[in-house]
Amino acid sequence: MEFFKVVSPEEAREAARGFLPLPAEEVSSFDAVGRVLAEDVLSPESLPEFARSIMDGYAVRAPDTFGASDSIPAYLELVGHVPMGSAPAFEVGRGQAARINTGGMMPAGADAVVMEEYTTAPDEGTVEIRRPGAVGENVLGVGDDLKAGERILPAGSRLRSQDIGAFSAVGITALKVHRRPRVAILPTGDELVDPSQKPGPGQIRDINRFSLAAAVIESGGIPETEEILPDDLATIKSRLAEAVERVDVALISGGSSIGMRDFAVEAIDSLGEPGVLVHGISIKPGKPTIIGRVRRGGADKAVVGIPGHPVSALMIFHAFVRPILRQLSGEAASELDREKGVLARLSRNLPSAPGREDLVRVKLEREGEGFAAHPLMGNSAMISTMTGADGFITVPLENEGIRAGAEVRVTLY
């Protein structure tokens, strides 16, 4: 006897696809680190806008130094010292050189910089050059770094420190980034009490409100947590209806009892079309997951019924909610993502029922040059199996298990 029709993880992933990136907002470059670009950013100008030295040394005309060596140095007339922060007032003519520091503007006439360590200035008016300079050597030419109109980064890039630096370099101090997803978390269950309270007999403290809020933060979203809701359909319906007006994603946690599962399904379906898309997934832990979708204000809102067991709740977050948040964030898919795990050797046989995808929590331990992955047993009601885990491995649907010694990829928490 099944209480709902389970679908494959792939079907569930399909139901969690197709969310559009959230609208853009403008933020200062200072606040943009970790945010996702909503548009291509083009360089408004060339970088640098003047030829600069990238070394301390002497700006020269390259041909004047050809053949210079320790035994036969070239002697050039010293015509000045390039000031930092302004244009040199002199030119470098044939047989002449000018002292220049890193970042200094190349004087007219000069086309190379010979590094200080290959020079000696025997007096105020002369410099001895002991290495030849090639044309353009130690010089950053106009537009060598970025050309005017060149794309610095495409839309969908998650901004890193170097990106912020590049924007500063060309005078971009504000950026259009996608709004961060807002996620409502509605804990439900007559048995739940706030963690600050001492539970009575038959009661337990609410875990998922806190762990899911933390997971939302880890994923770059903004959590909005609600107080614990009773197992009451009217209350759940009305709070959920309010939440989907306000947020981009609503997570109803709990409803692990049969009646409650019906409440969550009924509450989601009461919001309008298309409503519940998935009710039950052939995945462990997390089978009684609900994935729904409703339209509000011209946008699709995701509504996910998260299992009450704390381990299931977080694993379902990783497997289905995080990808939704990523779509909403506008971040472009990267070939790197699925590689960010760690390869490890499975330390013991891991049986798995075929027809079910298993997400198995593992602890990693160094073993020679690599790692051993130790599966952590214990059921999905035990939060301690998560605090001890470094990550998880995925045993695919069609697989009857993985043998000890096999190489597995561990997705790190």
C-beta closer to its own copies: residue 23 or 355 = 355
Question: Going by DSSP bridges, is the β-strand pair 357-367/370-375 parallel, antiparallel, or unpaired?
Answer: antiparallel
Residue 293 vs 309, nearer CB to its own copies: 309
Integer Cα distance of 2 and 261 in angstroms = 13
Instruction: Give dist(CA 362, CA 409) in Å, integer.
Output: 11
Among 10, 26, 50, 398, binds its own copies (CB under 8 A): 50
71 versus 161: smaller Cβ distance to its own copies: 161
In the block, tokens 């360590």 appear at 117
> With CB under 8 A as the contact rule, which of the stretches 154-162, 264-272, 294-302, 349-357 interacts with its own copies?
154-162
According to CB under 8 A, which residues from 103 to 142 bind its own copies?
Answer: 103-105, 116-117, 120, 140
Q: Which stretch binds its own copies (CB under 8 A): 29-37, 60-68, 263-271, 273-281?
A: 29-37
Return the SS3 of 386. Answer: helix
Beta strands in 246-381 (DSSP E): 249-253, 274-279, 283-284, 290-296, 299-306, 342-346, 350-351, 357-367, 370-375
What's the closest the beta carbon of residue 139 comes to its own copies, in angstroms? 10
Does 213 engage in binding with its own copies (CB under 8 A)? yes
Site for its own copies (CB under 8 A): which residue of 69, 126, 168, 349?
168
Please identify, among the stretches 13-21, 72-80, 266-274, 376-384, the one whose residues bind its own copies according to the rule CB under 8 A. 376-384
Does residue 270 interact with its own copies by CB under 8 A? no
Q: Which two tokens stand for residue 53?
A: 């030295």
User: How many residues form the binding site for its own copies (CB under 8 A)?
Assistant: 110
String of DSSP letters for 119-185: EEEEETTEEEE-S---TTTTEE-TTSSB-TT-EEE-TTPBP-HHHHHHHHHTT--EEEEEPPPEEEE
Look at the chain and count its residues.
413
339 binds its own copies (CB under 8 A): yes
**Among 10-18, 262-270, 273-281, 311-319, which window interacts with its own copies (CB under 8 A)?**
311-319
Q: What is the DSSP string of 305-334?
A: EE-SSHHHHHHHIIIIIHHHHHHHHTPPP-
Q: Read out DSSP for 1-59?
A: --SS--B-HHHHHHHT--PPPPPEEEEEGGG-TT-BBSS-EE-SS-BSSS-EESSSEEE
Task: Report the residue from 48, 109, 136, 323 that binds its own copies according to the rule CB under 8 A.
Answer: 48
> Cβ 26 to its own copies, closest distance in Å?
15
Residue number, 127 or 244, with CB nearest to its own copies: 127
Binding part of the chain for its own copies, among 26-34, 71-79, 176-184, 269-277 by CB under 8 A, reads 26-34
Short-list 344, 337, 380, 379, CA closest to 362: 344
Instruction: Report if residue 90 touches its own copies, rule: CB under 8 A.
Output: no
Q: Provide, rounded to whole angstroms, the least separation between the CB of residue 43 and its own copies.
A: 9
Q: Nearer Cβ to its own copies, position 71 or 196?
A: 196
The tokens describing 267, both together, are 């509450």
Among 382, 397, 399, 401, binds its own copies (CB under 8 A): 382
| Distance of closest approach, residue 74 Cβ to its own copies, in angstroms | 17
Number of C-beta neighbours around residue 8 at 10 A: 17
Q: How far is the CB of 118 from its own copies (least distance, A)?
A: 9
Under the binding rule (CB under 8 A), the answer on residue 39 touching its own copies is no
Joined tokens for residue 398:
């069609």
Q: Is 192 in the site for its own copies (CB under 8 A)?
A: yes
We find the least distance from the C-beta atom of residue 166 to its own copies, in angstroms, to be 5
